[in-house]
């Protein structure tokens, strides 16, 4: 088992390397560059800047230089935000995205699984229909609608919450509520539906029927036997979901003014800020790969049918 774990972990490195290489070349294909402005720079000045950032060298040389820098942990200077480098921006924004992501996903998991379990146990009841309707709304209504609607009601009309801001920037703790609610909704929805479906399936299975036949009580059946099986699809969903929620929360971060990684992700692309784009891509990919890896391992522990040799 340990050998498997180590092998798998080492396998992440070439994957990350391929992602970095492909991204490096793809972003340079887009028209325009970091230094194409409306007020064009004189030719000699532009030449100077390009020399300073090594943009005048051949792509392969630039690539080689970049790889060596990464190996030393240096993600380079930002082409657009000139006062700090990429490492700094990632260092200050990643924790915000992580906290927002973790809080939202945790809430989504707790609420989603409970809802899924209850709905499955009481299939076709009012509570089942109600919770699945909420789930459909959660999946269909986009974040950029939910966010402003929540802001309109709770901040503007009812005056209960501040419109925006973030607890980790020093604002009141109530600033986490609306972003969390907005981001939790779609994930809660998916998890509720997933766990409901898998619970229903598990409830029909032979081993649960056996447990019932043996006379075990409902709570014991649900929590000791059904839960593990029902959770399997949720667990495999969680890996990419976590990575997605950390940087995919760009919409929520923009609407609620949260200084997270997601905002740099999009802005750097629009600014053609090559180094910042690469930095965010590397972080996102690393999180995605690691989370998938962890999920695989957990899956192995949870499902007795799977064995790693």
The CA–CA distances, whole Å, from 80 to 18, 173, 180, 276, 304 equal 26, 32, 30, 9, 51
CB 170 within 8 A of CB 278: no
The reply on whether position 256 binds other proteins by CB under 8 A is yes
* Cβ at position 51, least distance to other proteins in Å: 9
The reply on whether position 225 binds other proteins by CB under 8 A is no
Measured from the CB atom, the residue of 136 and 270 that comes closer to other proteins is: 270
Given its phi and psi angles, is residue 32 left (phi above 0), alpha (psi -120 to 50 degrees) or beta? left
**Residue from 24, 66, 166, 265 that binds other proteins (CB under 8 A)?**
166
Encoded one letter per residue, x for contact with other proteins by CB under 8 A and - for no contact, window 136-165 reads: ------------x--xx--xx--xxxxxx-
Binding segment for other proteins (CB under 8 A), chosen from 28-36, 113-121, 183-191, 298-306, is 28-36
Q: In whole angstroms, give the CA distance from residue 99 to residue 233.
A: 24
Q: How many residues bind other proteins (CB under 8 A)?
A: 54
The reply on whether position 259 binds other proteins by CB under 8 A is yes
Binding segment for other proteins (CB under 8 A), chosen from 198-206, 237-245, 268-276, 278-286, is 268-276
Report 49-88 residues binding other proteins (CB under 8 A): 49, 52, 80-84
Q: In whole angstroms, give the CA distance from residue 196 to residue 4.
A: 32
Q: Which residues here bind other proteins, judged by CB under 8 A? A: 30-33, 36-46, 48-49, 52, 80-84, 89, 92-93, 148, 151-152, 155-156, 159-164, 166, 169, 172-174, 254-257, 259-260, 263-264, 267, 270-272
């Amino acid at each position: 088992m340990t050998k498997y774990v180590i092998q798998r972990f080492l396998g992440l490195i070439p994957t990350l390397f391929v992602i970095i290489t492909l991204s490096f070349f793809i972003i340079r294909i887009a028209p325009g560059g970091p230094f194409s402005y409306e007020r064009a720079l004189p030719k000699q000045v532009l030449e100077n800047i390009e020399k300073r950032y090594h943009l005048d060298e051949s792509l392969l040389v630039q690539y080689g230089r970049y790889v060596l820098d990464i190996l030393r942990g240096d993600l380079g200077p930002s082409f657009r935000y000139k006062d700090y480098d990429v490492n700094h921006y990632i260092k200050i924004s990643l924790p915000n995205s992580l906290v927002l992501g973790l809080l939202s996903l945790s809430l989504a998991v707790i609420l989603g699984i409970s809802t899924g379990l209850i709905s499955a146990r009481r299939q076709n009841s009012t509570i089942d229909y109600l919770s699945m309707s909420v789930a459909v709304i959660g999946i269909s209504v986009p974040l950029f609608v939910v966010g402003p609607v929540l802001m309109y009601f709770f901040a503007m009309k009812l005056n209960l919450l501040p419109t925006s801001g973030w607890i980790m920037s020093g604002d009141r703790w109530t600033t986490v509520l609306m972003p969390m609610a907005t981001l939790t909704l779609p994930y809660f929805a998916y998890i509720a539906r997933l766990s409901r479906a898998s619970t229903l399936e598990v409830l029909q299975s032979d081993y649960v029927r056996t447990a019932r036949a043996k006379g075990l009580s409902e709570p014991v059946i649900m929590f000791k036997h059904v839960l593990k099986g029902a959770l399997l699809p949720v667990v495999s969903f969680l890996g990419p979901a976590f990575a997605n929620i950390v940087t995919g929360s760009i919409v929520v971060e923009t609407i609620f003014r949260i200084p997270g990684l997601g905002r740099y992700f999009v802005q750097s692309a629009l600014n053609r800020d090559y180094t910042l784009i690469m930095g965010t891509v590397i972080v996102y990919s690393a999180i995605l790969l690691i989370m998938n890896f962890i999920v695989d391992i957990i899956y192995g522990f949870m499902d007795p049918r799977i064995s790693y040799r």
